[in-house]
Structure 1
């Protein structure tokens, strides 16, 4: 299973959302977000909800074993076709 922080980063990158945008949404510095994204800081359920809203996904997506096809990058979709 992929750790939650890595799942969030996969979705963020696939949606083309910047780390700076995420940091602003969470009311933290870019370094603070970096610590969340790399797993150095835990992600509370409150923050997970804010992240889900910023990424426009259901927070349960962070706990699934595989990325939903709608979050896969175009390149990944081509490689599996």
Structure 2
């Protein structure tokens, strides 16, 4: 399974969201998100929830083996 930060980046890019917008939506700095996107820092559950909300996806997408932004969760 890919590391979470890579999965977050794939979803971010597929949703067309900039790093700046995502960082600001999480009340964080762009430098923070830059470190996240490079795997330099670990994400907390709270951060993952904020990222998922900013990307308009279910947080579980980051943990599924098969990454699909169009996947519907029940």
TM-score for both structures, normalised by structure 2? 0.88
Root-mean-square deviation (Å): 1.4
Equivalence for 1:47: 47
Partner of 2:64: 64
TM-score, normalised via structure 1 length:
0.81
Q: Which residue of 2 aligns with 1:32?
A: 32
Give the Å deviation of 1:32: 0.9
Gap runs ≥5 in structure 1? 72-81
Higher relative contact order at CA 8 Å, sep ≥6: structure 1 or structure 2?
1
Aligned residue number for residue 3 of structure 2: 3
Q: Deviations over 1:24-74 (max 9, x none)?
A: 011121111111111101100000000010011111100111211627xxx
Query: Structure 2: 5+ residue runs without aligned partners?
Result: none
8 A Cα contact 2:11 2:69, kept in partner: no
